[in-house]
């Protein structure tokens, strides 16, 4: 769960849940948490794909894009983590609107046997890249891609997205061109260029380290 860096912007209760909304960081990254307190019951836990089928129609009705959905945490305390977006970017009010709408869907469908947490967030400047369409949309942008290949283990690449065609991603890195299949990608996200520039400026403003020498000149 991302740490709230500011006081909650809004909160409320309804349908047996508590929801709280924060702004996280300085890049207009909004985060809403909704905790479901339900009576434990016997039953299987739904898969991420099944949750997508439940949630996607509601998001599309609101005009939002599902960037990424994942279920993390333990089986007894699962966390549904949802990143949403739309053309022009998402606002904190729209995150709260989506969280309330999705909360009603999950409260009605009751997908988990016990309590769970719903996190609805904007993708932020380090936006996750999940599908071929995501990579195609951000051709020319810099990304960090983690892959895992049989016999080669896990590798991390940083570079500009050159293309993504037929589930084959091409990156332009400092070491040269890298070609990977999307099936090999464990996770990927855009790199916050403004953050990198700010960190470089901060480093450049620091006074140079003084190196003393022993003895007399």
Instruction: Tell me the pLDDT tens digit for each residue of 168-199.
Output: 999 999 999 999 999 999 999 999 754 343 44
Question: Could you tell me where in the chain the CATH 3.30.300.70 domains are found?
Answer: 10-121
HEC profile of 101-170: HHHHHHHHHCCCCCCEEEEEECCCCCCECCCHHHHHHCCCCEEEEEEEECCCEEEEEEEEEEEEECCEEE
Residue 159 and residue 146: Cα distance in Å, rounded?
12
- For the stretch 91-133, pLDDT in tens is 888 888 898 899 888 888 888 877 788 888 888 878 899 999 9
CATH number for the segment(s) 10-121: 3.30.300.70
pLDDT at 117: 85
CATH number for the segment(s) 132-205: 2.30.30.520
Measured over the CA atoms of residue 53, residue 58, residue 63 and residue 65, the dihedral's sign is: negative
Question: Could you tell me where in the chain the CATH 2.30.30.520 domains are found?
Answer: 132-205
Measure CA 47 to chain center.
18
- For the stretch 140-161, pLDDT in tens is 999 999 999 888 889 999 999 9
């Amino acid at each position: 769960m991302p740490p709230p860096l500011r006081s909650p912007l809004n909160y409320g209760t309804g349908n047996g849940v508590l929801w709280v909304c924060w702004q996280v960081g300085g890049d207009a990254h909004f985060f809403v948490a909704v905790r479901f307190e339900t009576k434990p019951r016997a039953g299987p836990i739904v898969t991420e794909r099944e949750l997508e089928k439940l949630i996607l129609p509601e998001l599309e009705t609101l005009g939002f894009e599902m960037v990424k959905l994942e279920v993390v945490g333990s089986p007894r305390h699962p966390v549904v983590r949802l990143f949403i977006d739309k053309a022009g970017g998402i606002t904190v009010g729209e995150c709260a609107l989506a969280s309330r709408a999705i909360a009603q869907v999950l409260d009605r469908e009751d997908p988990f046997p016990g309590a769970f947490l719903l996190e609805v967030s904007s993708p932020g400047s380090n936006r996750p890249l999940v599908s071929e369409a995501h990579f195609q949309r951000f051709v020319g942008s810099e990304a960090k891609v983690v892959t895992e290949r049989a016999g080669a283990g896990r590798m991390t690449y940083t570079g500009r997205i050159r293309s993504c065609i037929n589930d084959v991603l091409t990156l332009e890195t400092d070491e040269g061109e890298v070609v990977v299949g999307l099936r090999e990608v464990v996770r990927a996200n855009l790199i916050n260029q403004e953050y990198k520039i700010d960190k470089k400026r901060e480093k450049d403003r620091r006074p140079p380290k003084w190196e003393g020498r022993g003895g007399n000149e």
